[in-house]
Amino acid sequence: MQDKIQLGSVELTINEGVGTITFFHPSHNSLPGNLLAKLTQTISEAGANEAIKVIVLRSEGERTFCAGASFDELASIEDFPAGKAFFLGFANVINACRKCPKLIIGRVQGKAVGGGVGVASAVDYCFATKFASVKLSELAVGIGPFVVGPAVERKVGMSAMSQLAIDATTWQSADWAKAKGLYAEVFESAEAMDEAIKILTNKLIKSNPEAMDGLKKIFWEGTEDWDELLSKRAEMSGQLILSDFAKNAIGKFKGK
């Protein structure tokens, strides 16, 4: 339990055909490299598990879905290989969602920042509460949403993605995100959201797995080059994180 509190966790539970992946980190569900690797692995394993018909991706806690990259880890990056490797962690999570043959339902109970918006964009159908505002904060810390950008753009379009990327310090509401297509539905409470997720997953576990797999392939048409694309984007971020601008900006954010 102590390790979970200190290092965070990724857990998979299976119940009547629904595989629920839950991630947690004590710092607002931020994602350091070890959790990104575990999340990638768990999504891939759930996709290959014949006992699972549909996947729900969620985090612990109430008002923060995911704070994105771990600032502690960003501040510790000292060279380009380490920088690229860290940002590849987010690329690998997005690509795991993309390649997973099962439909992934997102449960966003609170705020999503940076990489958290990327995770919410990488699922196939996303529910949220009214507390699930979004922000792409990367430009404010000297980098840019290069790795998550393709996933976000795919969901909300270039205009909305550029709005988030350029105005990097402004939160956009859950209703804004629904209007742009990131969220399918927005609920007043987590309880109401969970009931809707239960209704949908109960329908999906009775659906034809081959048909759902076929739909998933259609949904993600045109992304076949993302292994290479997101790797190049990780290189961009991995280089920028070494700049004095980024180091100073991250230091200021950590000092708040």
Q: How many domains does the chain contain in total?
A: 1
Q: Kindly report, residue by residue over 14-55, the tens digit of the pLDDT.
A: 999 999 999 999 999 999 999 999 999 999 999 999 999 999
Evaluate whether residue 123 is within a structural domain.
Answer: yes
Structure tokens that stand for 248 in this block = 């100073």
Q: Give residue 256's pLDDT band: very low, low, confident or very high (50, 70, 90).
A: low
The string of DSSP letters for 120-189 reads HHHSSEEEEETT--EE--GGGGTS--TTTHHHHHHHHHHHHHHHHHHSTT--B-HHHHHHHTS-SEEESS
Evaluate whether residue 160 is within a structural domain.
Answer: yes
Evaluate whether residue 215 is within a structural domain.
Answer: no
CA-to-CA dists, residue 228 to 52, 69, 91, 232, 239, angstroms:
29, 21, 10, 6, 17
Q: Kindly report, residue by residue over 125-174, the tens digit of the pLDDT.
A: 999 999 999 999 999 999 999 999 999 999 999 999 999 999 999 999 99
The CA distance from 174 to 134, in Å, is 7
| Residues 150, 223 contacting (CB under 8 angstroms) | yes
CATH number at residue 244: 3.90.226.10
Identify the pLDDT of residue 252.
Answer: 80
The CA distance from 99 to 91, in Å, is 12
The CA distance from 188 to 159, in Å, is 27
Evaluate whether residue 216 is within a structural domain.
Answer: no
Whether the model clears a pTM of 0.85, i.e. scores above it, the answer is: yes
Domain that holds residue 67: 2-193+223-255
Evaluate whether residue 181 is within a structural domain.
Answer: yes
